Amino acid sequence: MRASEVMIADPVVAAAGATSSEVAALMRVKNISVVPVVDNPKDRHYLGTISDRDIVARCVGAGHDPTDCSAADHARTDTPIVKPDTELKGFKIAKQLDNDDHHVRSTIVVLNGDKKVVGFIPHPEEIPGIEVG
């Protein structure tokens, strides 16, 4: 099974300059908890990934004002990245823990050859053949 077969095509993204507050509002409206962060919504060049938990723990919890922090300020760069034609059977992703707790985060961002976000796989542990560990 290839990434293109299971990915969400043309996913919701957050612009790097959007505030954490704006990203949180976007997540609430779209009922999502993780988004790729891109240079701008038109070009969609991947910079990182931000989750609702990142906003709470790394922005608000650290005493920052979410109306002053940008998505780029708290974006993670450790999210697995694949191309649309990547074979997922046997694909392994490391278990990623948020901060010091045991909340497991696992997502995969799908990029084309120009490093443009073309897809998103939000729960790869639910796809047969992918190993998280």
pLDDT tens for 8-25 read 999 999 999 999 999 999
**By C-alpha distance, which of 82, 86, 64 is closest to 73?**
64
- Quote the pLDDT of residue 30: 96
pLDDT tens for 75-123 read 999 899 999 999 988 888 765 554 444 444 578 999 999 999 999 998 8
- Amino acid found at 108: I
- pTM value > 0.95: no
Tell me if 19 sits within 8 A of 69, measured CB to CB. yes
3-132: CATH superfamily: CBS-domain (3.10.580.10)
Query: How many residues in the chain?
Result: 133
Which helix (H) or strand (E) segment is 5 a member of? Answer: helix 3-6
